[in-house]
Amino acid sequence: MAAQWDTSRYLSLFVSEATEHLDALGKELVRLEGGVTPEAIDSLFRHAHSVKGMAGSMGYDPTTALAHSVEDLFERVRSAPARFDRAVADLVLQAVDALGGHVKAANERKPFPDNTALIAQLKELTQSLRPGTTPLPSAPPANAPLLETAGGPESELPPRWLVTLRVATHSAQPGVRGFLAYKRLASLGNLFRCTPSLDEVKAGRLPGGTFAVELESTEPEAAVAKTVSQVADVELVSLTRVASAPPPPAPEETKGTEPEPRVVGQEPPRTVRVRTELLDEFLDLAGELMLATAGVREVGRSLQEELRGRLNETTDRLHGLVRGLHDKVMKARMTPVSVITDRLPRAARDIARRRGREIELILSGSEVELDRAIVDELSDPVLHLLRNAIDHGVEPPEERRMRGKPPRGTVKLSVKRASDRVLLEVEDDGRGMDVERLKALAVERGLLTAEAARDLPEREALMLSTAPGLSTAASVTDISGRGVGMDAVKKAVEAVGGTLEITSRRGLGTTFRLSLPLTVAMVNLLLVGLGDDVYGLPIAKVAGVVETTRASLAHSRDVPVLQFGASVVPARELSAVLEVPGRPHDVAAVSPFVVVDTDDGRVALAVDALLGQEEVVLKALTRPLDQVPGLAGVTVLGNGRPVFILDVARLERPNRLPAVGEA
Amino acid sequence: MSKRVLVVDDSVFMRDIIKDIFAAGGFSVVGEAGNGVEAVEKYKELKPDLVTMDLVMPYRNGIDATREILRGDAKALVVMCSALGQETMVMEAIEAGAVDFIVKPPRAEDVLAVVKKVLGES
């Protein structure tokens, strides 16, 4: 059957959805070790069931078989939650990993791994949890396609009704009427297959005023009819018993073509998946629009006064709209940090078990949002910091006991918003770093002279741990030693415009503090020349450029002002603003004035030359340059030349803004 | 015994229209409220059989007031009064537990039909 239709176009959806379910499964399993509730088991069951359903639809029989054995196990655990223990969790986690392998294989169009042994183990465990009375039905061969109707649950399903309703044509708000009826039915049980979809119903798009929905409910027929009769302007057209669908026991269906099969009241916020690249393109386009707007303004300069005024008014508005669009696109790229942190409890558990540590991982602030690109880049570094904390930070339980610490170590991962940055901290209460040993190692490797090492402040000495090839670990373990090292962590953090800081107290623990920008560090720059130097002004902050002579500037209360569109803006020498020596200029010569938006309003900056536009990656400044006010960062141009990017928003400080001519 | 109704709307004009409709339909309007805060207080005090609730009101909107009333009395019957164009808000109110809605300007037969259905009288 599966061969009859082309499944390949569903592959990416399968991969992303199955991965989501497996991630959730792993996460919830780990959480379950803290205490089992029937709801939690139901949720696990649903994830396994969804994966099975999807794999079945794709024709992935081995995947279906594996997911089915996991589902069976949960089915059994559901009736005996007390039997859920570490052994169950361990085996299921193994199965989740194996399923992850299947998804990966599917994605790469490689053959599925063989999990016959694992399936056998799952079945054995399932059987051992059986209350004992009934014999296990003969297990289907692992690689054979599995049928959904596995006997048991069918009879336990509540009856299913096909309810067809008509909303009176004279109804003032037919959509709301339909929704009300839907909602009332939902109070009786679970709803499936609303036709047309619930969204259509809500919008009042009801062919002939009717819609139909399947209701799974234990309520008698009369009660269903009565419920409908209590909704004004809604008439029950028909109520017929239909065959119960193969499980889902949960109010959720993955099959069929319904976009809206969920029960009202539990609807998640409406979302749509968008490829990250598409958002990148949106961002590019928004940037281009901004430039085009500036171009229109430029053209306007050759127009007559009256026309120019009107055009400028429109371009101002356009500029505002485009900037709004840019902001919205940026916002759409924001992703909660939970995308990274959700899998950490699972990882922490694995690392701790393998290293013989006992740890408690405390996560906070995972809802804080960052630009998708940053979140993507941080995934591995954060995992490494966690490994590091458990592997090198937290001591083994006996050692902790000897030191008078609780045997179970604590690793805290907290995320906080701090004005326009996000702070991510990984803190452990382990043994801390040995600063002297780090220094000694650095000297030994020739990274430092003995004198320099002696004078090195602790804060900087700790940063030695991020130097390539430097580690105080006695041995490279299979966990922390693989993949990224601390040098890679530091590189990754800096690549997205962030900074890394370490604090550590011997015997008490270590904290890694990542300070990250909120948004992706790509900026469109207008490059301007000042003497021999080049500076970058973020285009987003540039309102326009006017070329005129200094002599032609008007004055308002002794401050030179530039006519810009319908308004006048104060004019400054950029060199004076930056407190760099400016070259003498001829007041009669034409100079470009870049009009920028600062937090304190518009200002026109006189520069020596306009050098063009470039999209660049913003790099954070490191000490001591980060102390210089007015600089937002630095970038390296295509020709290898470093360029400072001005923090335009905060440029205008009254005390450091001499007007044109004063400098 | 006639059913007791609480009418909530920030417009006195609208309250009067609704009150007249109820009076003509044989209901007894036991109280009125001009905003969401008052509505919650009056509900607790009067325990009416039914509430008609405006959506947009000062201090506390009709959706929040409905939520609050239902928190205190899960069986409360709240009927929303909406204007055209407020469909989304009405649906939100229904999610919050409102049992039905009437559309402004209210027409006597529609209001009474809805209210009777809600009270199970038809």
pLDDT at A454: 86
Longest CA–CA separation in chain A, Å: 102
Task: Report if residue A198 sits inside a domain.
Answer: yes
Contact call for A229 and B118, based on CB within 8 A:
no
pLDDT at B122: 59
Contact call for B117 and A230, based on CB within 8 A:
yes
CA distance A345 to A475: 25
Find, in chain B, the residue whose alpha carbon is nearest to that of A178: B91
Which of chain A's residues have a Cβ under 8 Å away from the Cβ of B121? none
Contact call for B110 and A172, based on CB within 8 A:
yes
Which residues lie closer than 8 Å to A650 by C-beta, 6 or more apart?
A598, A599, A629, A630
Q: Are residues A56 and A191 in the same domain?
A: no
Contact call for A173 and B118, based on CB within 8 A:
no
Find out whether A246 and A148 touch, Cβ atoms under 8 Å.
Answer: yes
* Range of the structural domain that residue A237 is part of: 155-242
User: Shortest Cα distance from A270 to chain B (angstroms)?
Assistant: 14
Whether the CB of B8 is below 8 Å from some CB of chain A: the reply is no
Counting DSSP H helices and E strands in chain B, the numbers are 5, 5
Q: Are residues A377 and A280 in the same domain?
A: no
Element (H, E) at A99: helix A86-107
Q: Are residues A637 and A557 in the same domain?
A: yes
Contact call for A173 and B117, based on CB within 8 A:
no
Considering only CA atoms, give the Rg of chain B: 13
Which of chain A's residues have a Cβ under 8 Å away from the Cβ of B117? 229-232
Considering only CA atoms, give the Rg of chain A: 32
Q: Are residues A15 and A139 in the same domain?
A: yes
Contact call for B113 and A231, based on CB within 8 A:
no
Strand partners, B6: B31, B51
Q: Choose among A565, A575, A624: nearest CA to A595.
A: A565
In a mutational test of the B interface, the residue from A167, A170, A176, A200 whose CB has the highest number of chain B CBs within 10 Å is: A176
Task: Report if residue A399 sits inside a domain.
Answer: yes
The total domain count for chain B is 1
User: Shortest Cα distance from A629 to chain B (angstroms)?
Assistant: 45
Q: Are residues A303 and A208 in the same domain?
A: no
In a mutational test of the A interface, the residue from B82, B116, B117 whose CB has the highest number of chain A CBs within 10 Å is: B117
One-letter identity of residue A634? V
User: How many beta-carbon pairs below 8 A join chains A and B?
Assistant: 42
Find, in chain B, the residue whose alpha carbon is nearest to that of A265: B95
Contact call for A231 and B117, based on CB within 8 A:
yes
CA distance A608 to A528: 7
Q: Are residues A554 and A591 in the same domain?
A: yes
Strand partners, A603: A596
* Range of the structural domain that residue B38 is part of: 4-118
Contact call for A232 and B114, based on CB within 8 A:
yes
CATH number of the CATH domain containing A73: 1.20.120.160
| CB-nearest partner of B91 from A179, A230, A231 | A179
Find out whether A228 and A234 touch, Cβ atoms under 8 Å.
Answer: yes
The total domain count for chain A is 5
pLDDT at A338: 87
Q: Are residues A163 and A116 in the same domain?
A: no
CA distance A225 to A209: 18
Whether the CB of B27 is below 8 Å from some CB of chain A: the reply is no
User: Shortest Cα distance from B93 to chain A (angstroms)?
Assistant: 10
| CB-nearest partner of A202 from B82, B91, B120 | B91
Which of chain A's residues have a Cβ under 8 Å away from the Cβ of B120? 230
Tokens of A396: 């083994």
Whether the CB of B87 is below 8 Å from some CB of chain A: the reply is yes
pLDDT at A125: 84
Q: Are residues A143 and A46 in the same domain?
A: yes
| CB-nearest partner of A183 from B87, B94, B114 | B94
Under DSSP, the state recorded for A466 is G
Which of chain A's residues have a Cβ under 8 Å away from the Cβ of B55? none
User: Shortest Cα distance from A171 to chain B (angstroms)?
Assistant: 9
The 10 Å CB-count burial string (b at 16+, else e) for B58-97 is eebbbbbbbbbbbeeeeebbbbbbbbeebbebbbbbbebb
One-letter identity of residue A623? R
User: Shortest Cα distance from A261 to chain B (angstroms)?
Assistant: 17
Which residues lie closer than 8 Å to A335 by C-beta, 6 or more apart?
A369, A370, A371, A372, A375
Task: Report if residue A248 sits inside a domain.
Answer: no
pLDDT at B47: 94
Local mean pLDDT, 10-residue blocks, chain A (663 residues):
53 81 84 74 81 78 88 80 78 90 87 86 82 40 34 55 85 86 87 83 82 86 85 84 54 39 46 72 76 76 81 83 81 83 86 88 88 83 90 91 92 86 92 87 83 86 78 43 66 81 91 84 80 87 88 86 86 87 82 87 90 72 72 72 82 51 45
Whether the CB of B83 is below 8 Å from some CB of chain A: the reply is no
| CB-nearest partner of B120 from A172, A202, A230 | A230
Contact call for A176 and B95, based on CB within 8 A:
no
Tokens of A491: 């590189």
User: Shortest Cα distance from B107 to chain A (angstroms)?
Assistant: 11
Contact call for B101 and A173, based on CB within 8 A:
yes
Contact call for A202 and B110, based on CB within 8 A:
no
Contact call for A183 and B100, based on CB within 8 A:
no
Contact call for B91 and A230, based on CB within 8 A:
no
One-letter identity of residue A180? L
| CB-nearest partner of A175 from B87, B117, B120 | B87
CA distance A27 to A363: 13
Q: Are residues A498 and A596 in the same domain?
A: no
Task: Report if residue A87 sits inside a domain.
Answer: yes
For strand A554-556 and strand A559-564, is the pairing parallel, antiparallel, or unpaired?
A: antiparallel
Tokens of A463: 């940063």
Task: Report if residue A116 sits inside a domain.
Answer: yes
For A44, A126, A147, A374, the CA distances from A78, given in Å and listed in that order, are: 10, 11, 21, 40
CATH number of the CATH domain containing A480: 3.30.565.10
pLDDT at A620: 63
Under DSSP, the state recorded for A659 is B
Contact call for A176 and B84, based on CB within 8 A:
no
CA distance A546 to A568: 12
Which residues lie closer than 8 Å to A54 by C-beta, 6 or more apart?
A14, A17, A18, A254
Task: Report if residue A418 sits inside a domain.
Answer: yes
Which of chain A's residues have a Cβ under 8 Å away from the Cβ of B111? none
Prediction ipTM score: 0.83
Q: Are residues A543 and A651 in the same domain?
A: yes
Which of chain A's residues have a Cβ under 8 Å away from the Cβ of B118? 230, 232
Task: Report if residue A257 sits inside a domain.
Answer: no
CA distance A552 to A561: 10
CA distance B73 to B66: 10
CA A139 distance to own-chain centroid: 41
Q: Are residues A87 and A168 in the same domain?
A: no
pLDDT at A131: 58
Q: Are residues A11 and A137 in the same domain?
A: yes
CATH number of the CATH domain containing B88: 3.40.50.2300
Number of alpha carbons in the 13 Å side-chain half-sphere of residue B98: 30
Task: Report if residue A445 sits inside a domain.
Answer: no
